[in-house]
Amino acid sequence: MKQLTRILAGLALLLLPQKEALAVSSAGSSSGSVLIGLFVGFCVLLIVLQMLPTLMLLVGAVKSLKVKNSDQKLGQGV
C-alpha cells in the first residue's frame, strides 16, 4: 500500500508542472476549433458510411462460404 502511494505521489509530482504548460500553450489558438472539429467529424462520418456496404458484403460472403463448406460431405469434390 505504501508503494502505491509513493508511485501516485511521484506521478502527481511529474504531471503537476505540465498542467500549467498545457494551459498556457493553448490560450490563443481557439479560433475556429469548433468548425474544424465539425469538419473532421463529417469526414469521418463519410468514411464510415462508405465502409458499411463493404463490410456487409464481406460478412455475407463469409457466411455463404461457411454454409457451402458445412454442406459438403467428404468424398464429394464439386
Among 75, 55, 53, 57, smallest CA distance to 65 is for: 57
In a domain, 47, yes or no: yes
In a domain, 17, yes or no: no
- Give the count of domains, the chain: 1
pTM for the model: 0.42
Q: Which domain holds residue 59?
A: 40-66
For position 49, what pLDDT does the model report?
94
Q: What percentage of the chain has pLDDT greater than the value 70?
A: 62
pLDDT-derived band at 76, boundaries 50, 70, 90: low
Q: How many Å apart are CA 13 and CA 18, to the nearest integer?
A: 10
In a domain, 52, yes or no: yes
- Give mean pLDDT, residues 6-20: 68
Q: How many Å apart are CA 28 and CA 13, to the nearest integer?
A: 27
In a domain, 54, yes or no: yes
For position 71, what pLDDT does the model report?
62
pLDDT, tens digit, for every residue of 29-60?
A: 556 788 888 999 999 999 999 999 999 999 99
In a domain, 12, yes or no: no
Q: How many Å apart are CA 63 and CA 70, to the nearest integer?
A: 11
